[in-house]
Structure 1
Amino acid sequence: MVAYIKTVDAYNATQPNSEMLDAIRQYNHSIINSLNSIRPLSGLRVLDVGASPHGYALEKSLALGVLDYVGIGLDISEDLAIKTKTGHGRLTYMNAESLSFNDNEFDAIVTMSTFEHIGNLGIALSEFHRVLRREGVALISFEPIWTCSYGHHLHHLGKISKLVPDWAHLLWSKNEMMEYLNSCWPQGAPLSVHEACEWIYEDNVLNRKGIKEIQKTLYDCPMQVEWIAPLLDEVRNEEQLIAAVKKTGLSRDELMTKGLSVLLYKH
């Protein structure tokens, strides 16, 4: 386990975006700690849906004494397996909407920054219910929701993301967005205006589901909702917010909800 953690340290240190990777690693650790405070994980089997391919949640889970950690995702290109004195951990490619596990196989499910990407959330939640044991828990935390100010999901691009006005992806058509970005797009940007607009409006990596649809899907799923806590956005452009309220019919509070933290139980 010590050797594995050193490989993760070394990988992060050699990457040009190492600061962002370190922040993602800490976020993964904090969510696993939160799950552990809800349901002590020592000796349990844990499924991580949308797992970091760098093993950030894997290392933390095994450090907490998880018996069996399985991390799945569509961006895991190579399977990985490690063994400690108290447990096993592995990463593997798998779709959340079609889990290749037996019924009642896991004690807990965790998913971080993934629900904004899953196409059919209802099917995925049914799969969670199927593979969880009775009294199992699912902790879900994700952002940004499509209907928040930066739901276009360019936030990892820093200054490029800030070129897109708040809620512009809801207020403008693709052509309007392209026309605007062409007027201010910097030379040497990591992607072109065309690529950015394809990502925002058409790429199937985003599910583009709004806050109301996601909340309804959660309450309609076969598991019991213990709580749904909104993750609130910071202060945004008031003029853009008023325009988004008029255009979408959503309330100010709904448009200022950037994500959700959710706890589900299988009773």
Structure 2
Amino acid sequence: MNLLDSLAIPQSGIYTAVGAGGKTSLLQSVALELYNLRLPLVLTTTTRMLAPQLHIDTHMPLPTIIISDVDKSARYIQRFLTHFQCAGWGKRYELQKVVGHSKEHIDQIYQTLADEFPSLHFLVEGDGANHRLLKAPAEHEPVVPDLTKVTLGVLSLQAIGMPLNHAITHRLAEVSLVLNTLENSIVTLQDIIELAVHPNGIFARTKGRKVLVLSGANACCGTHTIQKLEHSIREALSNAYGQHKLNSVESDGIVLDSIELDSIVITTGFGTAMRPLSIITTNRLL
């Protein structure tokens, strides 16, 4: 089982990763799988990525295009896809990071190239997490292209049992508000699921199908342990949906629905070595 199959990624399109605790590893691992299948791909961001993150590894040379002009970007990406099959793309360097183009420009470039490259995949990092394990978005996040087919929301299982603080959490105030809890409370699996399905959680303002990726599972987990984890996740999901039904979340007088997840994928590994351990197909439990 590979990531492309477990994430149900179609033959082409824009796929945007949000959340914390493994977004870049997920995108790099998916990129390597696409590359090995000889499928064209572009790795980019709507925010900022560390410059080395746009270069995968020695098994996949990823030539990078850093250019602000959108029309020139399209021409350069077309050449790189023709000659190298893949490209990293950004707008400019800022200190040690690459600043990405707008979500509108990403949609535009994808549409420009899609006819010539019908199996083209754009892999987009849609928000930042400052290397933390958990996050909830600020009001301006995430930045997700409108043509996104699948949003991949990432949270790390490694946060379970840790105190909720700045060391493991990006935007602690927002996370505390979503979870209705205090700093230094112990993180539970229920908290992680809540960050996924709460209307102000990691999937807020996203597009397309929603797939939750739970990173950081132990690669040595046996079948029994995985089955117990799956059961606990389903139970936590049911609890979260039930609580939202009883305590409707409102914004400006409008009742917000819980986020409907298409599936949950449990993964292990990091860098280009992330791989799935289990897939949970979800039915909305409202």
Q: TM-score, normalised by structure 2?
A: 0.36
Q: Which has the higher strand share?
A: 2
Q: Which has the higher helix share?
A: 1
The higher relative CO (CA closer than 8 Å, separation ≥ 6) is in 2
Q: TM-score, normalised by structure 1?
A: 0.38
